[in-house]
Structure 1
């Protein structure tokens, strides 16, 4: 009889503990829901923004309040707002390319005895450019609600990252594509690095950021972005597309360019938020789509250069 009472009491205690745990879980869930609602309530709409924060009128809400605090801006990275996807897409991309670079070096470098420090250097330029571009982009979007001066500084970081990615991407392409023509390789590397340095100058120095210099700034970035056309045309005059596809991953380079152009076009025309203002405030805006296209373009370029590396160290690729 006492055993029955003991078992009954133990079962009662277990039910009470289970009910208590369920109640705590319910309270925690309710608290998180309330917290999320409060966070959403604290977000601003377009009409509440200061002029310096107004960029895309089709994004009607989801704006973080101006923080005037690095800590508050960085803390908001963990919440949901209209910069969340922009921040995390490139932050995770920066981590992925950093880890990917280390893994690629460990897996691919030992594959060929002919692999040298030059291979490591040119790939390091690409990975450094990708990390700087994506990391600077994530930083800019994280602190863009701080203050006018900090937002301007972050915007300079963002533009600088674009320069680093473009220049870093060209380095392995030119190295493998013009390996048998070292004079041309050197010429084109100097040309692209010079244009990149010019873009950095017009991005950072206030004298060149005035409205009078706007056309020249645009020309510098257009020149840098299209500077790869010259060596590609030069190479096509000497070799067939098939040879260049194997030697420098030309098909993947062209795919990279197409992805960049398509992403930039979507960003420029403000699609799809232009069709339904307010519907894509948090998810699916043109800027977010552009970020994804940047990641896809960088991945396509990396794959093409990995194929070029393989061909370069094969019996056929080693012949000039």
Structure 2
């Protein structure tokens, strides 16, 4: 039997080299990867579900889908104007409403106001104040709803702008109503203007002061807003004591249209607070028909109602040549 040669004896009998196996991921690592991948998809999705939202964006759990994810980018938030989501109705009702009020105000200024020789620059200024303030309110509301998905600080600032818009709208509605209601009582007119302006400044300050956002001062801030809203009733009650009949006050101030405006505000606010109809049909009104959207529509109707009352008051005063004082 022949012996193996020295060359063959020196050769290694080890198996050929094989590539190293990848280390198997633990269950925890796999879960983490899935979680981060889901986060990435949510961050780049146009709309997401309620459960995908960070806690600070979760408000109405009856609205299930159509949410924009947190953008952390003004460009992405503004880009959401180009596709449909559950804030689209809120944004466009007030954005288009703001533009519509500006156009209507310009029309009234250039076409209707000059038709009466007794019309003065003061008429144009007080009615213009209404249109400017209402349009500003709606524009600030549309801005808030557009950037509300940016981040916590930006959403808080947008919410402050929204509240400021309410203050501006209340003041802007009061100025022309007081003007025509106290057309023959200039001292009272100025007194009510100063009163409403002072209350408005206090409420605006409370809106932006960090202290008033704390639980301790929240009741005070709420009281200021309620007080400003109620204070608009005092001039009307006062006017009822100055003129011989409710009809006279109605013709001078557009009282019935002011009452209709108040009804629209209150009814819309009740729907918003009750979260109707989505409370009864969760998921059905995610994109169109939710309570907040209905409230926005009632805000527009309230503005139109007040506007029409002012036009009637203007016509009544100047169709008599401005001679309406007893």
Query: For 1:258, which of 252, 259, 263 is the aligned residue?
Result: 263
Higher normalized helix content (fraction of residues): 1
1:86 aligned onto 2:90: yes
Task: Describe the superposition over 1:38-63 as per-residue Cα deviations: whole angstroms up to 9, x where unpaired.
Answer: 99964111121111111111111111
Q: Secondary structure at 2:63's aligned position in 1?
A: coil
* Cα offset, 1:238, TM superposition: 2.5
Partner of 2:210: 206
Partner of 1:97: 101
Partner of 1:112: 116
Q: Secondary structure at 2:69's aligned position in 1?
A: coil
Instruction: Show structure 2 runs of 5+ residues with no match.
Output: 1-41
Query: For 2:143, which of 107, 128, 139 is the aligned residue?
Result: 139
Which whole-Å CA distance do the structure 2 matches of 1:135 and 1:149 have between them? 20
Partner of 1:12: none
1:243 aligned onto 2:248: yes
Partner of 2:34: none
Question: TM-score with structure 1 length normalisation?
Answer: 0.86
Partner of 2:125: 121
Alpha-carbon RMSD across the aligned residues, in angstroms, is: 1.6
Structure-to-structure mapping, 1:160-179, within 5 angstroms: 160-179=164-183
Task: Describe the superposition over 1:18-55 as per-residue Cα deviations: whole angstroms up to 9, x where unpaired.
Answer: xxxxxxxxxxxxxxxxxxxx999641111211111111
Larger Rg belongs to: 2
Q: Secondary structure at 2:216's aligned position in 1?
A: helix
Task: Describe the superposition over 1:200-245 as per-residue Cα deviations: whole angstroms up to 9, x where unpaired.
Answer: 1111111221111110011000011111211111111222110011
Question: TM-score with structure 2 length normalisation?
Answer: 0.84
Partner of 1:318: 323
Aligned residues of 1:247 and 1:317 also touching (Cα < 8 A): no
Which whole-Å CA distance do the structure 2 matches of 1:198 and 1:294 have between them? 23
Which whole-Å CA distance do the structure 2 matches of 1:134 and 1:266 have between them? 19
Query: For 2:305, which of 285, 295, 300 is the aligned residue?
Result: 300
Which whole-Å CA distance do the structure 2 matches of 1:318 and 1:260 have between them? 34
Aligned pair in 2 of structure 1 residues 235, 308: CA closer, same or farther (>3 Å)?
same
Aligned residues of 1:167 and 1:192 also touching (Cα < 8 A): yes
Task: Describe the superposition over 1:137-194 as per-residue Cα deviations: whole angstroms up to 9, x where unpaired.
Answer: 1010001000101101100111111111110011000000011111211111111111
Which whole-Å CA distance do the structure 2 matches of 1:270 and 1:130 have between them? 25
Query: For 1:72, which of 76, 84, 101 is the aligned residue?
Result: 76
Structure-to-structure mapping, 1:270-289, within 5 angstroms: 270-289=275-294
1:228 aligned onto 2:216: no
Instruction: Show structure 1 runs of 5+ residues with no match.
Output: 1-37
Aligned residues of 1:63 and 1:81 also touching (Cα < 8 A): yes
Query: For 2:55, which of 47, 51, 64 is the aligned residue?
Result: 51
Aligned residues of 2:43 and 2:71 also touching (Cα < 8 A): no
